[in-house]
Chains A and B, each alone.
Chain A
Amino acid sequence: MTNKEFDDFVARQTSKVKSPKVDWKKQRKEWLKHLSDFYQQVEEFLSDYVAKGQISINYGVKSIIEEGLGEYQVNTAIIKIGPSEIKLEPIGANVIGAKGRVDMNGSNGTVKFVLVDQEAAEPRTSVPIWIRGEKPPPKLEKPKRIKWVWKISTHPPYIRYVELEPESFFDSVMEVANG
């Protein structure tokens, strides 16, 4: 038997393995937990200002319809600082390049918060694609356990992930609110 025949055999066998069925209920639950964690982080960042009555946070509700996850409700939040209102609006879990996204909208623009691999500094825009029956690329990454964290995503064409910390969050608020 040649290597080529064996490669074909392996490809045929692996193609027969069905993709595992996605547990959408579990995915939705996890996504809502990540959202809850996000709002908790925001509240911690702003707690001193809220305690002094300089900033208020009011929650609302919106519906999201996503493929697989179906229709569900999430919290939105309005951060009020004097005359400025900044809205935090979840976009969904089924987004390109991340496991979830929340937009911060103000009169001056939008900042994106994305749920990504803790180790990622930028999006992964290259995935190995090879034709079945041919040799896969030599250096295939093994699947690893990912810790999902919220980061701030800069806009194209230089997309980078910025750690979500009090300073970066305050910068985002000023960026979207300032005239």
Chain B
Amino acid sequence: MGSQVAFSGLHLPFDEMVNHHQDVESSLTHYFSHVSHQYTIHLERYSKEKLRFRLSENDKSTIFTLLAAVEAAFRIDYLQRTYQRKKDKLSKAFRALHQQKGSRASLEEDILSAWKEHTSVPAKLIGDLRGAFKYRHWLAHGRYWTPKLGQKYDYDSVYELTETVFKSFPFMSVR
């Protein structure tokens, strides 16, 4: 086994990401409102459509951040179970995987598959996560193709998915 990954400790808590999203949303709504100083100066540049576009972009940025945090939680858990040499089936599966692929194991193909095989996690939740990561991949690579996601992902649904992940998975975290 190679050297261990040095954890940064810089991953954001769920509440912080959500609060940031709310603050930006409130700020944009205020900025595009009649009481905004900018609104009276650049009246012709402001419209409901523009506000909705800005809010939608804020949603997408937060989706990206939320799903990155979900990935970090799964990867930290994968590495911690490997390093701590626990005896449960999931940890054993992760150690075998780590011997093959180290920290480059695929989240969707390897880590989520191990959770599906060795725990009681509902298949629907794994499917939702795989779809959400497809959506994140689409965002990360510039959205230049029409994605086949199998369902709609937006801020509301990804928020619910992320909250479910953090409340339900018995993750091992960085100590």
Q: Which chain A residues have a beta carbon within 8 Å of chain B's beta carbons? A: 19, 65-68, 91-92, 94-97, 101, 107-109, 112, 123, 125-134, 136, 153, 155-157, 159, 179
Contacts and interface: CB of A to CB of B under 8 A. Distances in A.
Consensus secondary structure, chain B interface: helix
A155 B157 CA distance: 10
Interface residues of B, number: 35
8 contacts: A65-B148, A96-B153, A97-B157, A125-B167, A131-B170, A132-B120, A133-B88, A159-B156
A68 B128 CA distance: 13
B25 to A, nearest CB: 10
Nearest to A8: B89
Given A132-B118, A132-B119, A132-B120, A125 B160 contact: yes
Interface of B: 18, 22, 48, 52, 88-90, 118-123, 125, 127-128, 131, 148, 150-153, 155-161, 163-164, 167-170
Contact of A94 (B89, B121, B122, B150): B150
Contacts of B128: 96
Given A95-B152, A131-B90, A156-B159, A126 B118 contact: no
Contact of B168 (A92, A127, A132): A127
Closest 5 CB pairs of A and B: A67-B150, A156-B159, A96-B157, A126-B167, A94-B151
